[in-house]
Amino acid sequence: MTRGLFVAGTDTGVGKTVVTAGLTGWLRDAGVEAHAVKPAQTGYPPDDDAAFVADACGDADAATCLERLEPPLAPRVAAEREDVDLSYDAVREGCERVLSDPAVDAGIVEGIGGLRVPLAGEREVIDLVADLGLPTVVVARSGLGTLNHTALTVEALERRGVDVAAIFLNEYEGASVAERTNPAEIERMTGVRVETVPPLDLSDPSGAIDGLRDAAGEWSPVDAIED
Protein backbone atom coordinates (compact mmCIF):
# COMPACT_ATOMS: atom_id res chain seq x y z
CA MET A 1 0.00 0.00 0.00
CA THR A 2 1.18 3.51 -0.76
CA ARG A 3 2.17 6.12 1.78
CA GLY A 4 -0.38 8.58 3.05
CA LEU A 5 -2.24 10.21 5.90
CA PHE A 6 -5.69 9.95 7.42
CA VAL A 7 -7.36 13.23 8.41
CA ALA A 8 -9.59 12.59 11.43
CA GLY A 9 -11.74 15.09 13.27
CA THR A 10 -12.89 15.48 16.83
CA ASP A 11 -16.35 16.31 15.48
CA THR A 12 -18.19 17.45 12.39
CA GLY A 13 -17.49 20.91 11.03
CA VAL A 14 -14.05 21.26 12.59
CA GLY A 15 -12.20 21.83 9.32
CA LYS A 16 -11.14 18.38 8.10
CA THR A 17 -11.79 19.31 4.48
CA VAL A 18 -9.69 22.46 4.67
CA VAL A 19 -6.80 20.49 6.18
CA THR A 20 -7.25 17.70 3.62
CA ALA A 21 -7.13 20.21 0.78
CA GLY A 22 -4.11 21.91 2.30
CA LEU A 23 -2.19 18.66 2.76
CA THR A 24 -3.06 17.34 -0.70
CA GLY A 25 -2.08 20.56 -2.46
CA TRP A 26 1.05 20.97 -0.34
CA LEU A 27 2.27 17.49 -1.26
CA ARG A 28 1.49 18.00 -4.94
CA ASP A 29 3.42 21.29 -4.90
CA ALA A 30 6.35 19.33 -3.40
CA GLY A 31 6.31 16.90 -6.32
CA VAL A 32 4.43 14.13 -4.50
CA GLU A 33 1.49 12.80 -6.52
CA ALA A 34 -1.09 13.05 -3.75
CA HIS A 35 -4.73 12.05 -4.10
CA ALA A 36 -7.49 12.71 -1.57
CA VAL A 37 -10.23 10.18 -0.80
CA LYS A 38 -13.58 10.88 0.85
CA PRO A 39 -14.99 7.46 1.78
CA ALA A 40 -18.58 8.72 2.11
CA GLN A 41 -20.10 12.16 1.69
CA THR A 42 -23.41 12.95 3.34
CA GLY A 43 -25.42 16.13 2.96
CA TYR A 44 -24.77 16.01 -0.80
CA PRO A 45 -25.62 18.38 -2.30
CA PRO A 46 -24.58 21.00 -1.27
CA ASP A 47 -21.71 19.45 0.67
CA ASP A 48 -19.01 17.97 -1.56
CA ASP A 49 -15.67 17.75 0.23
CA ALA A 50 -13.86 15.98 -2.61
CA ALA A 51 -14.92 18.73 -5.03
CA PHE A 52 -13.51 21.37 -2.66
CA VAL A 53 -10.17 19.54 -2.54
CA ALA A 54 -10.11 19.21 -6.34
CA ASP A 55 -10.86 22.92 -6.71
CA ALA A 56 -8.12 23.81 -4.24
CA CYS A 57 -5.61 21.75 -6.22
CA GLY A 58 -6.86 22.98 -9.59
CA ASP A 59 -7.22 19.40 -10.79
CA ALA A 60 -10.45 17.40 -11.04
CA ASP A 61 -8.40 14.21 -10.62
CA ALA A 62 -6.93 15.29 -7.26
CA ALA A 63 -9.76 13.81 -5.20
CA THR A 64 -12.23 10.92 -5.21
CA CYS A 65 -15.50 10.42 -3.33
CA LEU A 66 -16.59 6.80 -3.04
CA GLU A 67 -20.23 7.30 -1.99
CA ARG A 68 -22.49 10.37 -1.94
CA LEU A 69 -25.69 10.43 0.11
CA GLU A 70 -28.22 13.24 0.43
CA PRO A 71 -29.28 13.20 4.11
CA PRO A 72 -26.89 15.19 6.33
CA LEU A 73 -26.52 12.29 8.75
CA ALA A 74 -23.99 9.64 9.71
CA PRO A 75 -23.28 7.51 6.60
CA ARG A 76 -24.89 4.35 8.00
CA VAL A 77 -28.04 6.24 8.97
CA ALA A 78 -28.16 8.19 5.69
CA ALA A 79 -27.78 4.97 3.69
CA GLU A 80 -30.63 3.31 5.60
CA ARG A 81 -32.93 6.26 4.95
CA GLU A 82 -32.04 6.27 1.25
CA ASP A 83 -32.27 2.46 1.01
CA VAL A 84 -28.67 2.34 -0.22
CA ASP A 85 -26.54 -0.74 0.38
CA LEU A 86 -23.47 0.83 1.99
CA SER A 87 -20.93 -1.92 2.65
CA TYR A 88 -18.01 -1.34 5.00
CA ASP A 89 -15.87 -3.79 3.04
CA ALA A 90 -16.64 -1.92 -0.19
CA VAL A 91 -15.69 1.41 1.42
CA ARG A 92 -12.44 0.01 2.81
CA GLU A 93 -11.56 -1.70 -0.44
CA GLY A 94 -12.34 1.49 -2.36
CA CYS A 95 -9.90 3.42 -0.19
CA GLU A 96 -7.29 0.70 -0.59
CA ARG A 97 -7.64 0.77 -4.38
CA VAL A 98 -6.81 4.46 -4.46
CA LEU A 99 -4.00 4.09 -1.93
CA SER A 100 -2.41 1.22 -3.87
CA ASP A 101 -2.75 2.86 -7.31
CA PRO A 102 0.75 2.94 -8.87
CA ALA A 103 0.06 6.48 -10.09
CA VAL A 104 -0.53 7.71 -6.51
CA ASP A 105 2.48 8.52 -4.32
CA ALA A 106 0.43 9.46 -1.24
CA GLY A 107 -3.23 9.09 -0.35
CA ILE A 108 -4.97 11.55 1.97
CA VAL A 109 -8.12 9.95 3.39
CA GLU A 110 -10.62 12.36 4.97
CA GLY A 111 -12.84 11.04 7.73
CA ILE A 112 -16.52 11.72 8.30
CA GLY A 113 -17.36 13.62 11.48
CA GLY A 114 -15.65 12.20 14.58
CA LEU A 115 -14.20 8.76 15.16
CA ARG A 116 -17.34 7.13 16.59
CA VAL A 117 -19.57 8.15 13.69
CA PRO A 118 -21.38 5.04 12.34
CA LEU A 119 -19.91 4.35 8.91
CA ALA A 120 -21.46 1.16 7.56
CA GLY A 121 -22.98 -1.90 9.17
CA GLU A 122 -21.53 -2.22 12.67
CA ARG A 123 -18.34 -0.39 11.73
CA GLU A 124 -17.40 3.19 12.64
CA VAL A 125 -14.96 5.71 11.23
CA ILE A 126 -12.30 4.63 13.71
CA ASP A 127 -12.43 1.11 12.28
CA LEU A 128 -11.52 2.48 8.87
CA VAL A 129 -8.65 4.50 10.33
CA ALA A 130 -7.26 1.43 12.06
CA ASP A 131 -7.75 -0.89 9.08
CA LEU A 132 -6.02 1.47 6.64
CA GLY A 133 -3.10 1.88 9.04
CA LEU A 134 -2.12 5.38 7.94
CA PRO A 135 -0.49 7.95 10.22
CA THR A 136 -3.27 10.30 11.27
CA VAL A 137 -3.66 14.06 11.56
CA VAL A 138 -6.30 15.13 14.07
CA VAL A 139 -8.28 18.31 13.35
CA ALA A 140 -9.95 20.02 16.29
CA ARG A 141 -11.59 23.27 17.31
CA SER A 142 -9.41 25.89 18.98
CA GLY A 143 -11.59 27.19 21.79
CA LEU A 144 -13.11 26.15 25.08
CA GLY A 145 -14.02 22.44 25.25
CA THR A 146 -11.42 21.18 22.82
CA LEU A 147 -9.09 19.74 25.49
CA ASN A 148 -11.45 16.89 26.31
CA HIS A 149 -12.50 16.12 22.74
CA THR A 150 -8.96 16.21 21.39
CA ALA A 151 -7.40 14.13 24.16
CA LEU A 152 -10.12 11.48 23.90
CA THR A 153 -9.68 11.34 20.11
CA VAL A 154 -5.93 10.84 20.39
CA GLU A 155 -6.38 8.22 23.11
CA ALA A 156 -8.90 6.29 21.01
CA LEU A 157 -6.55 6.27 18.01
CA GLU A 158 -3.54 5.18 20.03
CA ARG A 159 -5.55 2.33 21.60
CA ARG A 160 -6.12 1.03 18.08
CA GLY A 161 -2.42 1.24 17.25
CA VAL A 162 -2.72 4.36 15.08
CA ASP A 163 0.23 6.77 14.94
CA VAL A 164 -0.96 10.36 15.47
CA ALA A 165 1.31 12.55 13.34
CA ALA A 166 0.02 15.98 14.41
CA ILE A 167 -2.93 17.90 15.78
CA PHE A 168 -4.26 20.98 13.98
CA LEU A 169 -6.36 23.46 15.94
CA ASN A 170 -8.46 25.12 13.27
CA GLU A 171 -9.60 28.76 13.05
CA TYR A 172 -7.22 29.74 15.83
CA GLU A 173 -7.33 33.43 16.74
CA GLY A 174 -6.03 33.44 20.31
CA ALA A 175 -8.98 35.60 21.28
CA SER A 176 -9.54 34.00 24.69
CA VAL A 177 -7.43 32.59 27.49
CA ALA A 178 -8.70 29.12 26.61
CA GLU A 179 -7.56 29.45 23.00
CA ARG A 180 -4.17 30.82 23.96
CA THR A 181 -3.45 28.07 26.48
CA ASN A 182 -5.00 25.13 24.59
CA PRO A 183 -2.08 24.34 22.21
CA ALA A 184 0.48 23.85 24.98
CA GLU A 185 -2.00 22.04 27.19
CA ILE A 186 -2.99 19.61 24.43
CA GLU A 187 0.67 18.91 23.72
CA ARG A 188 1.19 18.21 27.43
CA MET A 189 -1.85 15.93 27.62
CA THR A 190 -1.21 13.95 24.44
CA GLY A 191 2.51 14.19 23.70
CA VAL A 192 1.58 15.06 20.09
CA ARG A 193 2.76 18.13 18.20
CA VAL A 194 0.08 20.82 17.91
CA GLU A 195 -0.14 23.40 15.13
CA THR A 196 -2.62 26.27 14.93
CA VAL A 197 -4.40 27.30 11.72
CA PRO A 198 -5.90 30.80 11.62
CA PRO A 199 -9.18 31.59 9.85
CA LEU A 200 -8.41 31.40 6.14
CA ASP A 201 -9.85 33.24 3.14
CA LEU A 202 -11.35 30.34 1.19
CA SER A 203 -13.15 32.39 -1.46
CA ASP A 204 -10.48 30.75 -3.59
CA PRO A 205 -10.17 27.16 -2.28
CA SER A 206 -6.45 27.16 -3.08
CA GLY A 207 -6.05 29.45 -0.07
CA ALA A 208 -6.20 26.27 2.03
CA ILE A 209 -2.82 25.18 0.66
CA ASP A 210 -0.76 28.27 1.43
CA GLY A 211 -2.71 28.82 4.64
CA LEU A 212 -1.93 25.38 6.03
CA ARG A 213 1.69 25.46 4.85
CA ASP A 214 2.24 28.87 6.47
CA ALA A 215 0.61 27.73 9.72
CA ALA A 216 2.46 24.44 10.08
CA GLY A 217 5.86 25.82 10.98
CA GLU A 218 8.52 23.13 10.66
CA TRP A 219 6.01 20.28 10.44
CA SER A 220 5.66 18.84 6.93
CA PRO A 221 3.39 16.17 5.44
CA VAL A 222 6.34 14.99 3.35
CA ASP A 223 8.15 14.00 6.54
CA ALA A 224 4.97 12.55 8.07
CA ILE A 225 4.31 10.14 5.20
CA GLU A 226 7.94 9.00 5.18
CA ASP A 227 8.29 8.29 8.93
* Annotated binding-site ranges for substrate: 42
**Cβ proximity of 147 and 186 under 8 Å:** yes
Sign of the Cα torsion 61, 204, 214, 46 reads negative
Binding residues for Mg(2+): 17, 49, 110
Ramachandran angles phi, psi of 21, nearest 5°:
-60, -45
Q: Exposed, middle or buried: residue 36 (CB in 10 Å: 0-12, 13-18, 19+)?
A: buried
Instruction: Count other C-beta atoms under 10 Å from residue 72's C-beta.
Output: 12
The three-state secondary structure class of 217 is coil
Q: Which residues are annotated as a binding site for ATP?
A: 13-18, 49, 110-113, 170-171
Binding residues: 13-18, 42, 49, 110-113, 170-171
Hey, which residues are catalytic here? 38
Measure the CA–CA gap between 116 and 185, rounded to whole angstroms. 24
Q: In terms of residues, how long is the chain?
A: 227
